Amino acid sequence: MPMKYLPEEDTIVALSSPLGKGAIAVIRVSGKDALGVVNPLLKKKLGGETVRVAQFNEIFRPADSDPIDQVVTTYYKAPHSYTGEDLIEISCHCNPLIIDAIIGEIIHQGARMAQPGEFTFRAFMNGKMNLSQAEAVAEVINARTRQSLSQSIRHLEGKLSDRIQSIRNEILDYLSLIEISLDFSDEDIEIMPLETLAEKIRHTLTQLLQLLHTYDYGRLLQEGIKLLILGKPNVGKSSLLNALLQRERAIVSDIPGTTRDYIEASLEIDGLLVQAVDTAGIRSTEDQVEAIGVERALEQLHTTDVGLCLFEAHRELTGDDEALLQIIEAHRQELLFIIVANKIDLGKHPSTMKRLNALELPVVEVSALNHLGMEALKSAIRSRLITDESLESEEVVVTSARHKTALEKTITALNHALEAIEQHSTEEIIAVELRVALDHLGEITGETTTEDVLNHIFANFCIGK
């Protein structure tokens, strides 16, 4: 049991809905004494025939029978509840005074405040869900795009853990045959030829590698991307940000240097969460404030996924443009760039377009002020990030760095097992590597997970979940 949690025998209480004023708030109580700490407050007592039935009720202070609120109560009897314990949900009016009063009275009856994620932790400990599903609860709550939400729900439904369990069963099947062979080693019986075992391990490795291959796409879904807009002053960076957002977020002016610091805004591009950053114009300047803005713009390069580099299509390249071209050359190995030829409505300068096309980077022609070419630009951004379009049709995508690490360790252990077979090592050594692979794979679903990992996962939940 993780050290951050108090004994599971305790009955816990917390607000499960967001803080603030609203129509309805939901207070959740879980534990073996849930009825004991809630019933003293209720006019209509729970238990008996009221299991899994929402009923109108009145809640009051036991000390003086002073009414607190009119509520709806629902009682879930163990093990048929979210946590696997006796669980009561109280839907009250969403006024902080009412919420505090109800929770305070329940604590007075013997419950304690829940720790962050403790309801889901108890669900995990009581076998109501595995660890990857528990993580998916937080993913569903925090999802910010439709595609991210869709993938998180698949994880919550157990699609990922089912895939992992299927692979674990494969490894268990041939590991058990090796261990039978070890048990009968004195009788010179070969249960499975090593060539057949190597073939089975390679089949398992193929599945694991396919799953691991989805991670980069999954990370984009889960975390989103950072999009940096670069260019000289007055090239149209702020206009481009506004065009992408389809609203006025940045101030647009004909005066060079209007944007002196970076401006951030969120948008969605075909299901991907994008944090767009409009930077100060890239140029040499004597203005100290503007120079700081330029410096900050360049610092953003180290944490950026895609850089949009703007140039004026209708004009000859200037010294400030040349400075941006040098930045592109210096960072093109570690950063994805897209060249944006802006103000295309004013024409094209032959030498400029020739120079930009010679960079061997995607070039998109737009007019940010007139919102022309925006769909082509969005498509270019998506294509730059997602090089394997087949990933979008994958039912299960790995979105967690923790899962990625566990898969990599599993693959390493299986490769060691293959090397042991090729080197004619003993079956004992092969079996050890297969057990290591099983342990690493079990980290994903929580079958072989340390307390520190559990603490870290559930600490990221909010109270009441």
Q: What is the pLDDT of residue 254?
A: 45
**Measured distance CA(409)–CA(206) in Å, rounded:** 15
Residues 3-13: tens digit of each pLDDT: 455 567 899 99
Confidence of residue 430 (pLDDT cuts 50, 70, 90): very high
- pLDDT value of position 181: 74
For 57-78, the pLDDT digits (tens) are 999 999 988 999 999 999 999 9
CA distance 182 to 428: 7
* Banded model confidence at residue 395, pLDDT cuts 50, 70, 90: confident
Residue 233 CB partners (closer than 8 Å, separation 6+): 256, 257, 258, 280, 281, 283, 320
Interval 94-111 mean pLDDT: 96
Helices (H), ranges, 62-193:
96-108, 118-125, 131-142, 146-157, 159-183
Q: What pLDDT is recorded for position 247?
A: 67
Strand (E) or helix (H) holding 428: helix 427-445
Q: Looking at residue 252, what is its pLDDT?
A: 40
**Per-residue confidence (pLDDT) for residue 7, from 0 to 100:** 61
Over range 304-326, report the average pLDDT. Answer: 92
Contact 206, 233 (CB under 8 A): no
Q: Give residue 54's pLDDT.
A: 94
- Dihedral sign of CA atoms 266, 269, 273, 274 in order: negative
Average pLDDT, rounded, for the chain? 87
The pLDDT score that the predictor gives to residue 197 is 92
Greater confidence, 354 or 287?
354
Who has greater pLDDT, 459 or 199? 199
Confidence of residue 259 (pLDDT cuts 50, 70, 90): very low
Global confidence as pTM: 0.77
3-class SS at 463?
A: coil
29 closest CA partner among 93, 98, 122, 96:
122
CA diameter of the chain: 89
Ranking 91-100, 153-162, 175-184 by mean pLDDT, the lowest is: 175-184
pLDDT category, 295, cuts 50, 70, 90? low
Domains and CATH numbers, the chain: 12-128 (3.30.1360.120), 137-214+397-446 (1.20.120.430), 223-390 (3.40.50.300)
- Asked if pLDDT for residue 463 goes beyond 80, the answer is no
Report residue 283's pLDDT band, with 50, 70 and 90 as the boundaries: low
CA 42 to CA 32: how far, in whole Å?
18
453: pLDDT strictly greater than 80: no
Q: What is the pLDDT of residue 390?
A: 73
Is the pLDDT confidence value at 288 over 60?
A: no
Q: Supply the pLDDT for residue 6.
A: 55
Top pLDDT among 454 and 376 is at 376
Query: pLDDT tens digits, residue range 31-62?
Result: 999 999 999 999 999 998 789 999 999 999 99
* Residue 256 pLDDT greater than 50, yes or no: no
**How large is the angle between the packed helices 159-183 and 146-157, nearest 10 degrees?**
40
For every residue of 105-130, DSSP letters joined together read HHHHTT-EEPPTTHHHHHHHHTTSS-
- The label of the residue with tokens 């949690």 reads 5
